[in-house]
Structure 1
Amino acid sequence: MDGTAPFFGGIEAGGTKWVCAVADAGGEVLATEVIPTTTPETTIGAALRFFGGHPPIAALGIGTFGPVDVRPGSPTYGRILATPKPGWADVDVVSPFRAELGVPVRLDTDVNAAALGEWRRGAGAGLGTIAYMTVGTGIGVGAVVNGGLVHGLLHPEFGHIRIPHDTGRDPFAGSCPFHGDCLEGLASGEAMRRRWGRRAEHLDDPSAWELEAGYIALALVNLTYALSPERIVVGGGVAKHPALLPAVRARLLTLTAGYPGPPVPAGPAAMDEYVTGPALGDRSGVAGAVELARAARSEAPASW
């Protein structure tokens, strides 16, 4: 690579770990490091040391857990808001990097970054509108619509939508500290841990995964009808269970009931193409963060 070509930095700032990366001018990741999410001071300090140990970067992209203020010009831009993550509310995740690295920084949510990564380099390549849902410790959705990341009043908080909750079948009250039995409160990895007494990766009970698939399918039918994505990518630790996505697709096919007809998937083969796992695996978020950095340096608009 030409020695004058810039390097870019990306951070996928998750609730359990931060993934830091340095990429070349074309966005290809050259080096990464995984940092546990502990206190803000420790975590941000470790990320700064990572970038200090590599060639200087021209810009940095950050995709962070939230909620977070992603509105440039806002007095609280770059600050994490009312998060249930202890010790992280009101933490500024932009200013320390701007001050220490002296480069442009572009911020978005971790799920918007993952959606961008999959749209540019993964399962959504060549499409105009895709959604990315992460089902892990929490639940979130990011989206690229007509080539631009979705923002508005703040950013999508799809994990907190309300879905039907049959308390006779599932008496669990929900794990969300704000809403109880919202989608995240019923179907996140934390909800599964509290309901069943063990982490999702250690759950073998088919009834647990049948219940989980039902909740995720309810969420996806809402997402399908509200946003009309051309593809939905489902990632996150919980989504890695081999039985989950096939059961979600089957249930979603039943829920859509053939309405309104094509191009809404109307058969198993079409549903396999419509709801997929991430083509980039665990790299979706950090790949998208690098794309945010490339846009920050060129001062590209939100539509790539």
Structure 2
Amino acid sequence: MLYGAIEAGGTKWVCAVGDGDGHLLAREVIPTTGPEETVSAAVRFFLRHERPAAVGVGSFGPVDLNPASPTYGHITTTPKPGWAHTDVVSPLRTALGVPIGLDTDVNAAALGEWRHGEGQGVDTIAYVTVGTGIGMGAVVGGRILHGLTHPEFGHTRVPHDTGIDPFAGSCPYHGDCLEGLASGEAMRQRWGRPAEEVDDDLAWDLEARYLALAVTNLTYTLSPQRVVIGGGVTGRASLIPGVRVRVLELIAGYPGLPPLTDPDAMTRYLVEPSLGDLSGVMGAMELARGAAKGTT
């Protein structure tokens, strides 16, 4: 049985067809332009291949995931021009005639890593993506974590020492929330250039500090068995090791469990995605599998 997958990002849509066991048979990258043009290009991709049993979509958000809502399947209050209040699910379902599974892009990435990557063998995994913004998705007991809405971890608050970091924050809603202090956009505004062009150790020490505070909060609230950090900002080789060191300092031995007290065990607790840039695509494939079975 074949499944379709879409990782619907703000800059590109990655469309794929696979067998659901980690084997991709076809893949295409589509630039994210206007909604109608982008969705139509995705439809054409699937029409060029054998019809999948279902298609899973991991989308940038915020996304309405409540099936009882009249705006289910819509990207809602995104600041991306032209995409606010866009229905993603209905056009795909109508054009392809198959069930559509939907979740956020970061929830899809968490699901992909749980099924095929770093989450194999554990019940609870959290995936944090640090890119233009910051998001978090979690799988608990084999199910994506949902509640009032999908997690908005990027908008949680972390201590902000303005003596060390006078930057006011980049978030248009909260200023110095986690996303406002540690996202790629925050780095661009603070240092005057994209994160990948920042080559100042002090800048990356500050980034590691904020991410360590976030991981510590996540550890104490969700208690995941593994935390995966991905996204474009994490390409700096020293960043994740620096975050691990600071998490151990912040945890300060409480509780006395090996991942939170032993540096070697910490390298297996806080990890980078083993699926690389395919975490979201593989997770979207899992959403399709659930949609085909009627479980999502």
Pick the aligned partner of 2:156 from 161, 175, 178: 161
Deviation at residue 226 of structure 1 after TM alignment: 0.3
Deviation at residue 166 of structure 1 after TM alignment: 1.0
Distance in 2 of aligned mates of 1:129 and 1:25: 21
Q: Could you tell me which residue of structure 1 aligns to residue 56 of structure 2?
A: 61
* Residue 259 of structure 1 pairs with residue 251 of structure 2: no
Letter in structure 1 aligned against 2:147: G
Whether the aligned pair in 1 keeps the contact of 2:259 and 2:268 (CA below 8 Å) is: no
Q: Could you tell me which residue of structure 2 aligns to residue 91 of structure 1?
A: 86
Q: Could you tell me which residue of structure 2 aligns to residue 3 of structure 1?
A: none
Distance in 2 of aligned mates of 1:295 and 1:144: 14
* Residue 238 of structure 1 pairs with residue 201 of structure 2: no
Letter in structure 2 aligned against 1:187: A
Whether the aligned pair in 2 keeps the contact of 1:117 and 1:284 (CA below 8 Å) is: yes
Pick the aligned partner of 2:270 from 267, 275, 278: 275
* Residue 247 of structure 1 pairs with residue 242 of structure 2: yes
Pick the aligned partner of 2:170 from 160, 171, 175: 175
Whether the aligned pair in 1 keeps the contact of 2:108 and 2:137 (CA below 8 Å) is: yes
Whether the aligned pair in 2 keeps the contact of 1:235 and 1:277 (CA below 8 Å) is: yes
Letter in structure 2 aligned against 1:196: W
Q: Which 10-residue stretch deviates more, 205-214 or 42-51?
A: 42-51
Normalising to structure 1: TM-score of the pair? 0.95
Pick the aligned partner of 2:109 from 95, 109, 114: 114
Matched residue pairs, number? 296
Whether the aligned pair in 1 keeps the contact of 2:22 and 2:116 (CA below 8 Å) is: no
Letter in structure 1 aligned against 2:286: E
Deviation at residue 291 of structure 1 after TM alignment: 0.6
Distance in 2 of aligned mates of 1:72 and 1:51: 24
Residues 134-191 of structure 1: CA deviation (Å, up to 9, x unaligned): 0011100000012211001111000100111111211111111111111111111111
Q: Could you tell me which residue of structure 2 aligns to residue 139 of structure 1?
A: 134
Structure 1 counterpart SS, 2:27: strand
Distance in 2 of aligned mates of 1:28 and 1:209: 36
Letter in structure 1 aligned against 2:253: G
RMSD of aligned residue pairs (Cα, Å): 1.1
Whether the aligned pair in 2 keeps the contact of 1:8 and 1:24 (CA below 8 Å) is: yes
Deviation at residue 87 of structure 1 after TM alignment: 1.7
Deviation at residue 73 of structure 1 after TM alignment: 2.0
Structure 1 residues without counterparts, runs of 5 or longer? 1-5
* Residue 287 of structure 1 pairs with residue 279 of structure 2: no
Structure 2 residues without counterparts, runs of 5 or longer? none
Distance in 2 of aligned mates of 1:187 and 1:83: 19
Whether the aligned pair in 1 keeps the contact of 2:228 and 2:273 (CA below 8 Å) is: yes
Whether the aligned pair in 2 keeps the contact of 1:84 and 1:177 (CA below 8 Å) is: no
Pick the aligned partner of 1:30 from 25, 30, 51: 25
Q: Which 10-residue stretch deviates more, 47-56 or 266-275?
A: 47-56
Normalising to structure 2: TM-score of the pair? 0.97
Distance in 2 of aligned mates of 1:20 and 1:90: 22
Q: Could you tell me which residue of structure 1 aligns to residue 180 of structure 2?
A: 185
Structure 1 counterpart SS, 2:14: strand
